[in-house]
């Protein structure tokens, strides 16, 4: 049995001073009915908790750690920056170096601005789109998560495409009245939104959704989406905070020729430090203050520690020409092993891989959108998660999250994981 005494004690203490005992809701492990392990350290593919349990970590800080925990080169770059000062609130050359590197990788990004989180990046991108187009409404998709800013915390109304209503207390109706909802991978629902409003500034999408589980947008859907945006003079925003540098070197843009007007990035570009960014065509980005009238600012934006760690992370990626080939191979092997092992026990498992990202659903049919995802057997997932954790394998604590492979993993680790999963499938069938 997994030792939990110290984590349980730490969790109870945390709940005295922190709402729910966590600083981001999913960490509470409520959807899998467990007490969250309190982590004390990580190295490579592994991390350890305060009860001395050691786990193979398939979360990797929810994506940033493409080279694993405490990578020596990234760690060294951050420490070097720290020794010169944690933050200045003034320009540094490393900001320009990282910006130049990112612009050289993404053909859709000519200029970029750094912020401190993915939420902030998307929030700022929407404001920029509204300022540029001088229109107010936005379209988002059910099941796509773009951070916790007010205009994006909406739930579906009565129709497939409708103006949203708040999905969280504290969000006024007026804040979301300009947000329209469409169904992922359903172009007709997007067309309906455009017919309902002639005031749409942008369409916001995770081109590779990672927050309803791993659900990539169909290439044909993205192509049709781009044409609709052109037709109605709306900007297309790709939220690649999660998929950027994870699905491929160019994120979703490594799979499609569709050119977004604005891209949001995060996670990997900070190497584990808090960071976000949004970038696009010069014509659009020049609307930002101080060049233009659209205001956006942040005291710790582009801080040298995050920029240095991120630049080293990206440079390591660029130097390793076979990185994504290796990571993709491991991810495919893991999901193939899971699917085959589940099938032996009569369990229907839908799996998906994009680069170093993977996802699996306890579902009878392929998942193409959020409604499909909601039909998954979450109780069986919770049982699977608990038994895998007890065996030392740490997966995202929700059926609706994505897993990640890091470069510190190898075929031996993957096979051990598959072997453990096979035993668990037998127990939960």
Task: Give the catalytic positions in this structure.
Answer: 145, 239, 267
The three-class DSSP label of residue 205 is strand
- Dist CA 277 CA 264 (whole Å): 6
Helix axes 72-84 and 304-319, enclosed angle (nearest 10): 150
Compute CA distances 246 → 109, 113, 358, 377, 416, whole Å: 18, 20, 10, 27, 23
294 is written with which tokens? 């659209």
Instruction: Give the 3-state secondary structure of residue 297.
Output: coil
DSSP for residue 96: H
> Would you call 368 exposed, middle or buried from its count of C-beta atoms within 10 A (0-12, 13-18, 19+)?
middle
Helix, strand, coil content of the chain in percent (nearest 5): 45, 20, 40
In three-state form (DSSP H/G/I as H, E/B as E, the rest C), the secondary structure along 210-245 is CCCCCEECCHHHHHHHHHHHHHCCCEEEEECCCCEC
Q: Which residues pair with 243 in a beta bridge?
A: none
Q: What is the SS3 assignment for 236?
A: strand
Backbone angles phi, psi at 117, to 5 degrees: -160, 165
> Which two three-digit tokens encode residue 122?
């998307």
């Amino acid at each position: 049995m997994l030792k939990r005494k110290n984590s349980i004690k730490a969790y109870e203490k945390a709940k005295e001073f922190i709402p729910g005992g966590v600083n981001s809701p999913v960490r509470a492990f409520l959807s899998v009915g467990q007490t969250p392990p309190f982590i004390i350290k990580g190295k490579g593919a592994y991390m350890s908790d305060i009860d001395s349990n050691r786990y193979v970590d398939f979360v990797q800080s929810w994506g940033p750690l493409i080279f694993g925990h405490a990578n020596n080169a990234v760690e060294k770059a951050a420490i070097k920056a720290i020794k010169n000062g944690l933050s200045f609130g003034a320009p540094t050359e490393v900001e320009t170096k990282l910006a130049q590197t990112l612009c050289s990788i993404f053909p859709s990004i000519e200029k970029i601005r750094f912020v401190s989180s993915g939420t902030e990046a998307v929030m700022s991108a929407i404001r920029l789109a509204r300022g540029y187009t001088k229109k107010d409404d936005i379209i988002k998709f059910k099941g796509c998560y773009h951070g916790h800013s007010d205009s994006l915390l909406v739930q579906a109304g009565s129709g497939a495409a409708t103006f949203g209503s708040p999905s969280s207390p504290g969000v006024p109706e007026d804040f979301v009245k300009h947000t329209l909802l469409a169904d992922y991978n359903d172009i007709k629902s997007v067309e309906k939104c455009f017919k309902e409003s002639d005031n749409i500034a942008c369409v916001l999408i995770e081109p590779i959704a990672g927050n309803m589980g791993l659900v990539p947008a169909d290439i044909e859907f993205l192509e049709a989406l781009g044409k609709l945006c052109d037709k109605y003079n709306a900007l297309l925003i790709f939220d690649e905070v999660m998929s950027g540098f994870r699905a491929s070197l160019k994120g979703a843009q490594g799979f499609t020729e569709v050119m977004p007007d604005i891209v949001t990035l995060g996670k990997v570009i900070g190497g584990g430090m808090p960071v976000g960014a949004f970038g696009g065509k010069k014509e659009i980005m020049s609307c930002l203050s101080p060049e233009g009238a659209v205001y956006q600012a942040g005291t710790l934006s582009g801080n040298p520690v995050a920029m240095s760690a991120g630049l080293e992370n990206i440079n390591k990626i660029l130097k390793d020409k076979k990185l994504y080939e290796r990571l993709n191979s491991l991810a495919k092997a893991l999901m193939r092993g899971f699917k085959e092992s589940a099938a032996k026990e009569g369990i229907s498992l839908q799996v998906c891989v994009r680069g170093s990202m993977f996802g699996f659903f306890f579902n009878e049919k392929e998942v193409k959108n959020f409604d499909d995802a909601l039909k998954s057997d979450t109780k069986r997932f919770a049982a699977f998660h608990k038994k895998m954790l007890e065996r030392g394998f740490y997966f995202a604590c929700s059926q609706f999250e994505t897993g990640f492979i890091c470069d510190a993993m190898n075929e031996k680790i993957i096979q051990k994981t598959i072997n453990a999963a096979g035993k668990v499938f037998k127990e939960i069938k």
